[in-house]
Amino acid sequence: MNPDQAYAELVRLSRDETVLASCLDVLDWDEEVCMPRGGVEHRAQQMALLAGLVHDRQTDPRYDDLLSTVEASSLVSDPESPQAVNVRELRRGFDRERRMPRKLVEESARVTALASQKWAEARKRDDVKIFVPWLDRIFALAREEADAVGYAETRYDALLDDYEPGMTTDRLSALFAHLQAQLLPLVDSLRGEPTPAPGHVLAREFPIDRQRLFAEGVAAALGFDLECGRFDIGQHPFCTSIGPGDVRVALRYYPRNFTRGFFALMHEVGHALYDQGLDPAHYGTPIGEAASLGLHESQSRLWENLVGRSHGFWRHFFPQLRSVFHEALHDVSLETFRGVINHVGPSILRVQADEVTYDVHIMIRFELERALLAGDLRGAELPGAWAELYQRYLGITPDNDRNGCLQDGHWSEGLIGYFPTYTLGNVYAAQLFDAAERAVGPLDESFAAGDFRPLRAWLGEHVYRHGQRYRVDAIIKRATGSAPDPSALIASLSRRYGSAR
């Protein structure tokens, strides 16, 4: 087979595998949005079988020969060409997958499907003991996975690399140390700052059907394409890309907590804009896919915080908001409203954390999951360790496990090494937003005019359209002029929330 034929065959294999894997995404979406509780055992079987089939495709021995043929040809001589990028990333994925025994892949899919239900049950009953044995099983499987795929320094590197290619535990620890040194003093200085306005404004009644209409209207104004996407009500907010032309966002609204539902929408729409901005012509190959979870998260955090909490954004949307929720907001000014939504204070729940304390929640999880993976911490010891770190860093202790170590479902789904990508997202978002403003001028003015195109176009040009053409570090460097660095995030938070604000 000549290199051109080999490359065409590689693309075909990669597309087929992606299409098959996207069936898992539909099942996942269905489980969150539609499936009755009684379907859980059957769904676990479906997921395990499909995960096994996807794994078979990913480890198809033909990949090795085809990749070798193309790797030795002139097709890959330009490292930025789709051919070279796809071959580089397919090789990386293939080498990782073929080291994973099929039994381990199926066992992980089966255990995590059941563990997620045990986690939900433990949370519902506030009884961590229901979940502890499953947590230990999941970390044991993660150790097996790390040992199977291999790593340079520590098992955590092997897991992290799956979400954030090229990132290492050492580099991440240094980044967190830098962030911690500057963030904790800022958190301390804001602690006890009086609420700038009556907090009860947001605890007023915001009817859910109107929240939904308002939020979906905002999403359309930001550029979410409703012809190629949809909104549903789910158990948790999430965004999933089923394929070109089908990007789905699930949300949940709360009648007396407007901000929780609304900022979740801003977050998920940020993810969706990235997915909708990928090049559909390259669907099913790495150059048509997002570069990393951290970069994906940078898009959600950018729209959620740097757009959704800005003055310009609410100058545009607040009059509309006030007329939709007249009873709740008729006596509230724009400035009062912004003061309330941007109030900083330690919170027990990550998903309700303000922008300043958010990364402290991630630091805590980064520390705990490394200890769990290393075997230095056992599942049964997690609640105590969790409470201790919340007290140390945020000065608060959860009053139960439901709001403590059971608050996030990530570990129950086998997502270990995933939490740090949230902080990487915040780091990249601050750098990208600064660079966009340097390039297109003050964004607050365009937001105030209801115009989000300049920002979206800049992100499309510098982030979306590249897919995996470059590794994340290179995407950030090319877009912003600097390597990933938390300084822009610290500067942005200090500027907007610090005492000199």
Q: Which residues are catalytic?
A: 268
Edge-first strand listing for the sheet containing 246-251:
229-233, 246-251, 238-243
- Amino acid, res. 316: H
Q: Do 229 and 248 form a contact (C-beta atoms < 8 A)? A: yes
Longest CA–CA separation in the chain, Å: 74
Q: What b/e string do you get for 210-231 counting C-beta neighbours within 10 Å, with b at 16 or more? A: ebbebbbebbeebbbeeeebeb
* Using rule CB under 5 A, residue 83 touches Zn ion: no
Q: Please tell me whether residue 300 binds Zn ion under the rule CB under 5 A.
A: yes
Judged by CB, which is closer to Zn ion: 7, or 274?
274
CB closer to Zn ion, 123 vs 301: 301
Taking CB under 5 A as the binding criterion, the range among 91-99, 299-307, 330-338, 453-461 that sits at the site for Zn ion is 299-307
Of 238, 296, 265, nearest to 32 by C-alpha is 238
CA 221, 226, 232: angle at the middle one, nearest 5?
Answer: 105
Judged by CB under 5 A, the stretch of 151-159, 164-172, 292-300, 427-435 that binds Zn ion is 292-300
> Near Zn ion by CB under 5 A, which window of 111-119, 300-308, 384-392, 410-418?
300-308
d(CA 487, CA 475): 18
Q: How far is the CB of 189 from Zn ion (least distance, A)?
A: 28
Task: Extract the tokens encoding 215.
Answer: 């939020």
Nearer to Zn ion by Cβ, of 297 and 355: the residue is 297
DSSP bridge partners of 246: 243
**Tokens 């509309």 belong to residue:** 320
CB of 338 to Zn ion, least distance (A): 23
Output the residue with the shortest Cβ distance to Zn ion: 300
The b-or-e profile of 243-258 (16+ CB within 10 A means b, else e) is bbebbbbbbebeeeeb
Angle (CA) 199-256-251 rounded to 5° is 120
A 10 A CB-CB count for 423 gives 27
Q: Would you say 94 or 274 has its CB closer to Zn ion?
A: 274
CA atoms within 13 Å, Cβ hemisphere of 338: 19
Query: Where do the H-state alpha helices sit in 375-482?
Result: 382-394, 420-440, 443-448, 453-462, 472-480
| 305 part of the interface to Zn ion, by CB under 5 A | no
Q: Which is nearer to Zn ion, 58 or 300 (CB)?
A: 300
The Cα–Cα gap between 451 and 84 comes to 37
Rg (CA), the chain: 23
Taking the complex as a whole, the smallest distance from the CB of residue 2 to Zn ion amounts, in Å, to 43
**Part in contact with Zn ion (CB under 5 A); list of ranges 6-14, 95-103, 291-299, 371-379:** 291-299
Q: How far is the CB of 238 from Zn ion (least distance, A)?
A: 8
Pick 284 or 420: Cβ nearer Zn ion: 420
* Residue 477, both tokens: 């460097």
CA distance 72 to 90: 15
**Shortest distance, CB of residue 13 to Zn ion, whole angstroms?**
30
User: Beta strands 246-251 and 229-233: pairing type?
Assistant: parallel
**Which part of the chain contacts Zn ion (CB under 5 A), choosing from 114-122, 132-140, 295-303, 374-382?**
295-303
Cβ 250 to Zn ion shortest distance, Å = 12
CB of 435 to Zn ion, least distance (A): 21
Taking a C-beta distance cutoff of 8 angstroms, is the pair 124, 235 a contact?
A: no
Interface region with Zn ion, contact rule CB under 5 A, candidates 195-203, 290-298, 333-341, 354-362? 290-298
Minimum CB separation of residue 333 from Zn ion in Å reads 31
Q: How many residues line the site for Zn ion (CB under 5 A)? A: 2
* Closest CB to Zn ion among residues 54, 429: 429
128 or 302: CB nearest Zn ion: 302
- The one-letter amino acid code at 395 reads G
Using the minimum distance from each CB to Zn ion, give the nearer residue, 164 or 297: 297
What is the separation of C-alpha 38 from the centre of its chain, rounded to a whole number of angstroms? 29
Could you count the other beta carbons within 10 Å of the beta carbon of residue 236?
A: 12
**Closest CB 379 distance from Zn ion, rounded Å:** 26
Task: Point out which residues bind Zn ion (CB under 5 A).
Answer: 297, 300
